[in-house]
Amino acid sequence: MNLLDLDAAALERYCTGLGEKPFRARQLLRWIHQRGASDFGVMTDIAKVFRDRLAAEHLIAGPDVVSDSTASDGTRKWLLRVDAANAIETVFIPEGDVAARAAGIVIDDEDDEGRYRGTLCVSSQAGCALECSFCSTGYQGFNRNLSTAEIIGQLWHANAALGRQPGGERLITNVVMMGMGEPLANFDAVVSAMSLMLDDNAYGLSRRRVTLSTSGLVPQMDRLAQTLPVALAVSLHAPTDALRDVLVPINRKYPLAELMAACRRYIDYAPRDFVTFEYIMLDGVNDSLDHARQLLALTRDVPCKFNLIPFNPFPQSDYRRSPAERVRAFARVLIDGGRVATTRKTRGDDIDAACGQLAGQVTDKTRRASKRIPIVADASSGGAQ
């Protein structure tokens, strides 16, 4: 058994089942996740008899590295092998000049307060079954869910690969479940991995620094609110059911009225008092000023902010990125309507690590990868205004 598969509760049950005290689980968590140990022999505060048993029966192993690429802006992407047929992608995005230079990365942008932030974008599935038409991962099709070890193993590996800042702080300060796959479609393993991210004996991140992005699986959103309510981002991308049915097909099952109601319910439990709506800007498809006004009406009762995302092209898609001036005009409508609207800076696109570009290597069980993704235009929008 790979001990990366066990969160704190499961590891405690395992230790007590062997007749060990519960504190042994906390010791193991600290060695594995805080110190990145993979050798039981170095765990010198654990009895040797127990260490020998662990070494004989178990292992600590992250996914194998297939490739490791660094973009010109400092973004780093790993292709990680999870089995003989599939590999997934994990992306590290550094922000903030001073600490980035300390890590050997030179960039020129900072977060809103000028402080260093290092964000790890983590995958939850090999491929994705939701078929969002603008996403390279969806085009690859779907093979399987990742295990807890394969999810937390991405953070475990990245911490080891990146090292620490000179003061000893880890370079990864935030985690976003925004990589390959729909996290809420792999609920149990994702929650188990996120619980390790939050555990003080493991990675010790706050719930505000762990964000889960969903396309809108309403029952699982409610379940997450009751189980482990981290910061929530919703891949919205359209202000009407007719358009979202095409761009984000899960909308046919959970339409916008149900999704907005679930967002309102989630806020009662969330570590932030708003939901982030992610909105990819597609030229002539969802980027008119009418669309922006429709968004204001749709979300009038939902405390939220908007993250506008320039479309990042990939070979199988015919969509185009909205012109910068249209994105600015779109954002201005939202801001004038009383909303916070930011435009995401494209990072890592020269190594295909930008939003929507993650593809990995997926043996598709759904046969969806053979489908051609068409251009979708919303005839009712009248184009940019």
For 6-30, the pLDDT digits (tens) are 999 999 999 999 999 999 999 999 9
In a domain, 384, yes or no: no
Annotated catalytic residues are 89, 355
- Give me the number of domains the chain comprises: 2
Q: Return d(Cα 215, Cα 235) in angstroms, integer.
A: 5
CATH number at residue 8: 1.10.150.530
Query: Does residue 76 share a domain with residue 8?
Result: no
In a domain, 380, yes or no: no
Query: Does residue 212 share a domain with residue 87?
Result: yes
Query: Does residue 266 share a domain with residue 193?
Result: yes
Burial class of residue 296 (count of CB atoms within 10 Å of its CB; 0-12, 13-18, 19+): middle
Q: What is the pTM of this model?
A: 0.89
Cα angle at 114 between 109 and 118, to 5 degrees?
65
Query: Does residue 118 share a domain with residue 52?
Result: no
DSSP H helices, 7-135, are 8-17, 23-29, 48-57, 97-102
Query: Does residue 287 share a domain with residue 246?
Result: yes
In a domain, 382, yes or no: no
Query: Does residue 127 share a domain with residue 82?
Result: yes
In a domain, 50, yes or no: yes
Residues with Cβ < 8 Å from 178, sequence gap 6 or more?
Answer: 121, 122, 211, 213, 233, 355
Query: Does residue 68 share a domain with residue 45?
Result: no
| 264 within 8 A of 299, measured Cβ to Cβ | no
pLDDT category, 71, cuts 50, 70, 90?
Answer: confident
Query: Does residue 117 share a domain with residue 33?
Result: no
In a domain, 381, yes or no: no
Query: Does residue 92 share a domain with residue 49?
Result: no
Would you state the structure tokens that stand for residue 331, as one six-digit string?
């954002």
Give the pLDDT confidence score for residue 380 in this predicted structure.
39
Listed residues 39, 57, 75: the one ending a domain: 57
Query: Does residue 17 share a domain with residue 107?
Result: no
In a domain, 251, yes or no: yes
Distances, alpha carbon 42 to alpha carbons 47, 178, 266, 296, in Å: 11, 34, 43, 56
Helices 187-198, 8-17: inter-axial angle, 10-degree rounding: 90
Query: Does residue 357 share a domain with residue 254?
Result: yes
Give pLDDT tens digits for 127-174. 898 988 888 777 778 889 999 999 999 999 999 999 887 677 889 999
Q: Return d(Cα 259, Cα 269) in angstroms, integer.
A: 16
In a domain, 217, yes or no: yes
Listed residues 41, 57, 73: the one ending a domain: 57
Q: Return d(Cα 101, Cα 360) in angstroms, integer.
A: 29
In a domain, 115, yes or no: yes
Q: Return d(Cα 305, Cα 236) in angstroms, integer.
A: 12
Q: Return d(Cα 209, Cα 196) in angstroms, integer.
A: 13
Domain interval for residue 224 = 64-370
| 165 within 8 A of 99, measured Cβ to Cβ | yes
Residue 104 above 60 pLDDT? no
Cα angle at 101 between 99 and 105, to 5 degrees?
110
CATH number at residue 339: 3.20.20.70
Query: Does residue 69 share a domain with residue 11?
Result: no
Give the pLDDT confidence score for residue 112 in this predicted structure.
46
